[in-house]
Amino acid sequence: MFSPSSSMAKPKLQSSFFFFFFNIVALSFFHSALSLLNPEDHGPGLAVEADDINIVQTRQDSSNKQCDFSVGKWVYDQSYPLYDSDCPYLSTAVTCQKNGRPDSDYEKWKWKPVGCSIPRFDALRFLGKMRRKRIMLVGDSIMRNQWESLVCLVQGVIPTARKRVTYSGPSMAFHAMDFETSIEFFWAPLLVELKQGSGKKRILHLDLIEENARYWRGVDFLVFDSAHWWTHSDQTSSWDYYMEGNRLIKNMNPMLAYQKGLSTWARWVDLNLDPRRTRVIFRSMSPRHNRQNGWKCYNQKQPLPFFSHQHVTEPLVVLQGVLKRMRFPVYLQDITTMTAFRRDGHPSVYRKAISQEERQKLGVGISSDCSHWCLPGVPDSWNEMLSALL
């Protein structure tokens, strides 16, 4: 059974920071617990820089002896990656090596928590745990990123004739036939329902979710994410109006809207899922590194060594507040800080094969993806953590 609490911190720094670190823990905030169809999705939001980092601490349950996976550092490991970019299930937008990225060290960093370790991903062991079960990753294109990583981590031990991918509406599923297991992705970047109203106006229904949630019934392991689309600006937002009940609303604080949408999700989970049959994980937001028109991640080759200061991300605080009020035990998989170090892990300009002419223009006029992640790469560590949690 999952512990419904989690915490977040950064790797070991100077002694002055430890004073800050332990004070944050003492204060604590809350108890908790597209597809790459649009790889140019670089809406403004939680840009994370060496001088602009977002970190939240959550209260640790003193009875929880489980290792806190969110606190640690990246260590270089020559034995990584665990698969290569020839994995047939990767989208072109994340195969950075195939697309001409000249360096590859970003594939070789392993996350090492303080005081413990995350086991190396074992595909056969994972599939054994998933035998006759369904695991579904629900969310946006960053969750699609993670789904592709997970499929590539397991597919190498399965004979070609005994694996396949099926598509059905907003979902896709990788099937490991001999294990009677499916690893599924469901496209629901906002979790709640986005519909087209009269005059082709796009309406985000903050209190409606069943159209998406009906697909989640009967799944053994559900992993959710939702934050990126909520933080888009007016120019890149996916809706024209909010609707709550019968009220059509043009403008609303985006974090208030996010809180309302997450609360609708939380009510559905509380009312419709049985914790004896279904485990639920909510993965925290994957940071963007796209300040200065997306070029903060271009030509970055190593993780950030430290953060000079920290402040709270609003989406994570909102998420923690919603999870705190739930009856259902949801585990918050906190990857925000560990991922914030990895400015080197984005596709940047290598989201597609680059011609010689385009190479000469690097840094000028070519869009740079600092939101998604190269594979193999950072999401593999999320999945090693996920496997350990399961």
Distance of CA 225 to the CA centre of its chain: 6
DSSP symbol at 352: S
pLDDT, tens digit, 9 for 90 and up, residues 130-142: 999 999 999 999 9
Q: Return the pLDDT at 351.
A: 87
For the stretch 315-333, what's the b/e string if a residue is b when 16 or more beta carbons lie within 10 angstroms of its beta carbon? bbbbbbbbbbebebebbbb
pLDDT for the residue 16? 46
For the cut 50, the answer to whether the pLDDT of residue 55 exceeds it is no
Higher pLDDT, 199 or 59: 199
Query: Which tokens go with 316?
Result: 């994570």
Cα separations in angstroms, 372 against 157, 215, 271, 298, 314? 26, 25, 33, 13, 20
Q: Please give the Cα distance from 82 to 65 (Å, whole number).
A: 29
Mean predicted confidence (pLDDT) in 367-384 = 94
Q: Given pLDDT bands bounded at 50, 70 and 90, which one contains residue 216? A: very high
C-alpha to C-alpha distance for 301 and 259, rounded to whole angstroms: 36
pLDDT at 290 over 60: yes
**pLDDT at position 12:** 42
Nearest 5°: the CA angle 62, 64, 69 is: 115
Q: Is pLDDT of 359 > 80?
A: no
Residue range 144-151: mean pLDDT, rounded:
98
Q: Which residue, chain included where needed, has tokens 């609003």? A: 314
Q: Is the pLDDT of residue 369 over 50?
A: yes
**C-alpha span between 50 and 343 (Å, rounded):** 9
Indicate whether 20 pLDDT > 80. Answer: no
Contact 291, 52 (CB under 8 A): yes
pTM for this predicted structure = 0.81
Q: Are 192 and 206 in contact, with CB atoms under 8 Å apart?
A: yes
pLDDT(281) > 80: yes
pLDDT above 60 (res 189): yes
Q: Catalytic site residues? A: 141, 369, 372
**pLDDT of the residue at 61:** 39
Cα–Cα distance between 147 and 149 in angstroms, integer?
5
Residue 37: Cβ-neighbour burial (10 angstroms; 0-12, 13-18, 19+): exposed
What is the per-residue pLDDT for 30? 35
Of 112, 9, 12, which Cα lies nearest the Cα of 57?
Answer: 9
Compare 316 and 198 and report the one with higher pLDDT: 316
pLDDT tens for 65-91 read 567 888 899 999 999 999 998 999 999
Q: Structure tokens of 23?
A: 């004070």
**E-assigned strand segments in the chain:** 53-54, 72-76, 109-113, 134-139, 163-168, 171-176, 181-187, 193-196, 202-205, 221-224, 241-244, 247-249, 279-283, 310-311, 330-333
Q: Hey, which of 233-237, 253-257, 258-262 has the most confident mean pLDDT?
A: 258-262
**pLDDT for residue 306:** 76
Check residue 312 and give its pLDDT: 55
- In the prediction, which pLDDT does 131 show? 97
> What percentage of the chain has pLDDT greater than the value 70?
76
Q: Are 388 and 119 in contact (CB under 8 A)?
A: yes
Mean pLDDT across the stretch 79-105?
A: 94
**pLDDT for the residue 313:** 79
Burial 6-25 (b: 16+ CB within 10 A, else e): bbbbbbebeeebeeebeebe
For residues 110 and 60, give the distance between their C-alpha atoms in angstroms, rounded to a whole number: 24
Residue by residue, DSSP assigns 38-93 as: -TT---SS-B-BTTBEE----PPPTT--S--TTSEEEEE-TT--SS-TT-TT--GG
Rounded distance, CA 301 to CA 345, Å?
8
pLDDT at 296: 77
Residue 376 has pLDDT above 70, yes or no: yes
Bridge partner residues of 137 (DSSP): 185, 223
Average pLDDT, rounded, for the chain: 82
Strand partners, 204: 194, 242
